[in-house]
């Protein structure tokens, strides 16, 4: 009887520990508190907390040829490999987006230059017509312009009038020749610049195609690994990912990072947060900027665009060009840039949380701002 009682007590303790260490409770404790834009923190419908039972814990260690610890160790190695592949895909995505942005700018510049070339040619044609008209008039007058003929008169007044007209005619001719020369030089410069822009555009397109190929290769490799896992293993993989993020967030919070962070969102910041929060649950797709899917910088750039502020398209350009602020001065609406290569970005929504598009295979969601390695903070509306 005592033995059965001991067994019951042991089972009760194990169950209690399982509940206390579940990712759902960890997420409640460390991850996404309610944002200013939403009274409750929504959870991505395709990323639900998974009960920590991917394996049959009733079997004694080694009965099925493996132990839970060994399974987790194996899955951790798989997770690191998948994260590495998706990380390289994310970096390539940023390169793709940057090449696309440059290609768009170069295309627009080519259109402008083409218009200038057309206008320049029209201007030259008009000047040639004016010069031709003057030449034909001179030919009809026997090689002398009417003003020069007037200078041959015996009437002093007519002579003076003719002399003035000759001077004005000479100046008009010089001006006409000067305008033609400038128009021709401008046309040559526009044509040369258009050629250079075309070369740049082609280079951007080559980089874009190369980055796209690399992205597809890395994502395909990661998906192949995930597809080879059992459903229970994929669930456990997600849970390990959530646990790791919760631990990182807990460490960040315990460091006192939020101690002095109490800024309020600006009017534009509130609009940007509202837009970003409305996208929660939509899938990450590389190179996407809505409305049905996003990558990380596509989400932040579109959110701020909806707030009336145009910012760079990529996380690396956002880090390079937007005003930086100290972490202690961070306020909702600011963008947190992650990783040494600035390959990821999320929007701070307050209470230690961000809204972001994590990676391929995941959805726009809320998570702890300290769940990844922070590079710095930028403020679009500073």
**CA 275, CA 7: separation in Å to the nearest integer?**
53
Task: Please give the Cα distance from 330 to 324 (Å, whole number).
Answer: 10
117 vs 129: CA distance, rounded Å: 18
| Angle at which helices 68-140 and 231-254 cross, to 10° | 80
Which residues 6+ apart lie within 8 Å of 166 measured at CB?
145, 147, 148, 151
* Residue 344 among the catalytic residues: yes
- Catalytically annotated residue among 6, 15, 339, 356: 356
Tell me the three state secondary structure of residue 329: helix
Identify whether 363 is a catalytic site residue: no
Least Cα distance to 295 among 103, 38, 100 occurs for 100
Helix axes 156-227, 68-140, angle to 10 degrees: 160
φ/ψ of 51, rounded to 5, equals -60, 140
Q: Which of 6, 15, 296, 339 is catalytic?
A: 296
Burial class (CB within 10 angstroms; exposed 0-12, middle 13-18, buried 19+) of 316: buried
CA gap 152, 184 in Å, rounded: 37
Residues annotated as catalytic (active site), given as ranges:
296, 344, 356
């Amino acid at each position: 009887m005592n033995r059965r009682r001991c067994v019951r007590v042991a089972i009760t303790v194990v169950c209690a520990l399982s509940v206390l260490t579940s990712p759902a409770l960890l997420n409640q404790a460390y991850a996404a508190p309610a944002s200013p834009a939403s009274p409750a923190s929504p959870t991505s419908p395709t990323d639900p907390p998974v009960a920590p039972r991917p394996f049959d814990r009733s079997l004694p260690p080694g009965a099925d040829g493996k132990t839970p610890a060994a399974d987790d160790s194996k899955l951790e190695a798989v997770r690191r490999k998948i994260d590495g592949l998706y990380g390289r895909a994310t970096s390539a995505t940023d390169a793709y987006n940057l090449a696309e942005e440059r290609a768009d700018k170069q295309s627009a510049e080519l259109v402008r230059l083409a218009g200038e070339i057309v206008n320049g040619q029209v201007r030259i044609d008009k000047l040639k017509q004016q010069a031709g008209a003057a030449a034909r008039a001179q030919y009809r007058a026997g090689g002398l312009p009417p003003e020069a003929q007037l200078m041959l008169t015996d009437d002093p007044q007519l002579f003076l009038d003719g002399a003035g007209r000759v001077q004005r005619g000479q100046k008009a001719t010089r001006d006409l020749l000067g305008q033609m020369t400038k128009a021709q030089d401008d046309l040559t410069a526009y044509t040369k610049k258009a050629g250079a822009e075309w070369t740049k555009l082609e280079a951007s397109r080559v980089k874009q195609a190369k980055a796209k190929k690399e992205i597809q290769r890395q994502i395909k490799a990661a998906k192949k690994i995930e597809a080879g896992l059992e459903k229970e293993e994929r669930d456990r993989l997600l849970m390990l990912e959530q646990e790791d993020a919760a631990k990182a967030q807990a460490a960040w919070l315990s460091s006192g990072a939020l101690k002095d962070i109490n800024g309020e969102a600006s009017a534009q910041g509130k609009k940007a947060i509202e837009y970003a929060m409305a996208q929660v649950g939509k899938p990450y797709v590389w190179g996407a900027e809505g409305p049905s899917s996003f990558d990380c910088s596509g989400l932040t750039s579109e959110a701020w665009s909806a707030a009336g502020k145009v910012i760079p398209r990529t996380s690396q350009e956002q880090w390079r060009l937007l005003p930086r602020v100290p972490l202690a001065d961070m306020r909702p609406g600011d963008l947190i840039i992650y990783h040494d290569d600035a390959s990821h970005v999320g929007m701070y929504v307050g209470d230690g949380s961000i809204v972001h598009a994590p990676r391929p295979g995941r959805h726009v969601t809320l998570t702890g701002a300290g769940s990844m390695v922070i590079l710095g903070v930028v403020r679009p509306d500073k």
